[in-house]
Amino acid sequence: MFFIRNKNEESQIIFVYRYLSLFITSMFYLLGHPEHNITRKLFIILCISISAMILSYLYPNYENSKKDIKVLLIIETIGNVILLIPSGGINSPFIWYTLNTILISSIYLKSRNCWFNFFAYLISYLIILKFGSKLGINEMIIQKEQTNLLLSFLMIIVAIQIIGIYIKKSKLERERLEKSNNQLELENRLKKETIDHIKNLYQSVNILANQGNKEGIINFSFEHILKITKAKTVFYFDITENTNKMYSFGDKNLIDNVEIKIDSNLEDMLQKNDFTELNVLNTSFIIVPIRTNYSDYGILGLESTYSKESLVYQNDIYQLNFLSELISTAFERLTLEEVNERLLISDEQNRIANEIHDSILQKLFSMSCGIYSIIKKLNTYTTEEIHNDLNLIRNTTDTVMKELREKIYGLSWEKSGSNSFSLDVKRYIDDMKKLNNINIPFTVLGNIKTLSISQKKALYRIICEGLSNGVRHGEANNIEIILNIDKESTYLSIKDNGKGFNLNQALEKKTRGLGLQNLYQLTESLHGEIHINSEIGKGTTIEIIMPNYLELAKGEAAI
């Protein structure tokens, strides 16, 4: 029946025994007891059948409430006693049907309840036996041979008790195994999600570290934490700037109180080598310091609503520890890149200064001396001699200009005849192809030297963002990149065959994804236009058009 279909095995066993015992005892009652007419027999069977259907519905629905089970047992016991009287008393076949209450009390309740139920039947029968003659019930007199029936009944109850103990132990073991199985399934699911997110997170953080985008690393970390841990509040307290800064997602009032508490206990928190708990406004946070062997960067934390013994809590700790190591590595990389860039610039400046001093300044000094000599001899020189000396000075000037141009180009993207911008983009594309096993054709048309440094940096970041979004969100296996440069404008196209997305919904959100936000900001910085076309199931196309500025910005090196 439908109301037993989704119940546990115990309820199903009781259900089967009830109807099997009802059918067998009813058959014996119909075929035996010739002293009872057919109408009486059918009426008694009908009453027991109706009660069996009602009880079969009630017991499974209240199986978790011992109090309700006891009430139902009392009601069924009284009903069984009443129906036994007209059906033959202790000689009635339905006495075996009464074992249903014994079986139920043995499985759902403690062992003593089984015996309480038996003695309730026995006392009820003795009471009826004592007053039965006054009621005209003469057939209920116990004979000696019926004591064997009573003994059999007792032995069956003992057997039911043993079976009940076994069923209870099996139930506890099954519940333990189910709990362990659920824990394993949850752990496997969490591990799978973690591996997928770690892969995406590692790629994203690697991209942002290459771009020097500190806030982007923090925001990507927040996205990872929110997806994996389902935390409602996450924060990062940055201490690298002169003024401490809080990055957060969640309840602002809660975050404000967290910031106050961190400010007052910052030194103690930074001294911890592992995660610690922070309680603010009856809310528990797991926090870890972000640090390297050389410096401290800040405090990372998330809200936790699970008990310390739960698998989810342990997974949250694992995620936070992993992120702390990844973020600290990324921040250290940013710091080293800044130092390295300053050293490179200093080396280049020293190199150019030495080369200008050793060669160009000497030639300029020689030119100055030549011009001075011409001025002194101007009255005595012939026109031809002046013409020859001026041509010599002009040739020297051309040589100096050529050397000076070569020294300036030493700072550019183009060195030793190779194009560093194209090589950097191709190197990044090769890394993406190897990591994700995808096809990325890259075409460059036009002269890259017409682009300024700021344009090249922005284009590099846009290409990185477009590829990252196509792989991470679009799950594309083919991304085509076309860069076309002419005199007046530059056109960039990034087209993938991924799953696409609803652009309007993405733009309507209060907080855009970091990828979209970066694309729009970078295009705006180039005074360009961006057009994104995406359909679910048909991929995404990003087109960017920006004007070219042939004149270099003030202080910018020629490239």
pLDDT digits (tens, 9 = 90+) for 349-388: 666 666 666 566 666 767 777 777 778 777 777 778 778 8
For the chain, give the number of residues.
Answer: 559
pLDDT at 141: 45
Note whether 121 and 21 are same-domain residues.
yes
Low-confidence ranges of the chain (pLDDT < 70): 1-8, 128-151, 186-187, 189-213, 241-242, 293-294, 311, 336-363, 365, 403, 405-420, 435, 508-515, 549-559
pLDDT at 197: 60
pLDDT at 514: 52
pLDDT at 361: 66
pLDDT at 235: 92
Q: Is residue 522 part of a domain?
A: yes
pLDDT at 397: 80
Q: Please tell me the distance from the alpha carbon of residue 441 to that of residue 443, in angstroms, as a whole number.
A: 7
Domain, as residue range, for 349: 339-414
Which DSSP string corresponds to 343-388?
Answer: HHHHHHHHHHHHHIIIIIHHHHHHHHHHHHHHHHTTTTS-HHHHHH
Q: Please tell me the distance from the alpha carbon of residue 345 to that of residue 555, in angstroms, as a whole number.
A: 14
Note whether 198 and 327 are same-domain residues.
yes
Please, are residues 468 and 516 in contact by the beta-carbon 8 Å criterion? no
Note whether 494 and 448 are same-domain residues.
yes
pLDDT at 307: 78
Q: Is residue 119 part of a domain?
A: yes
Helix ranges, 410-554 (H): 420-436, 453-472, 503-508, 514-525
Residue ending a domain, among 357, 381, 414, is 414
Domain total in the chain:
4
Residue ending a domain, among 142, 164, 184, is 142
Note whether 207 and 310 are same-domain residues.
yes
Q: What is the DSSP letter of 98?
A: T
In Å, what is the CA distance from 469 to each residue of 38, 208, 361, 426? 82, 13, 51, 17
The domain that holds 533 is classified in CATH as: 3.30.565.10
Strand ranges across the sheet with 529-535: 442-445, 479-485, 489-496, 539-547, 529-535
This prediction has a pTM of 0.39
Q: Please tell me the distance from the alpha carbon of residue 536 to that of residue 498, in angstroms, as a whole number.
A: 9
pLDDT at 295: 75
Q: Is residue 366 part of a domain?
A: yes
pLDDT at 94: 82
In 3D space, the residue among 466, 444, 439 whose CA is nearest the CA of residue 542 turns out to be 466
Q: Is residue 168 part of a domain?
A: no
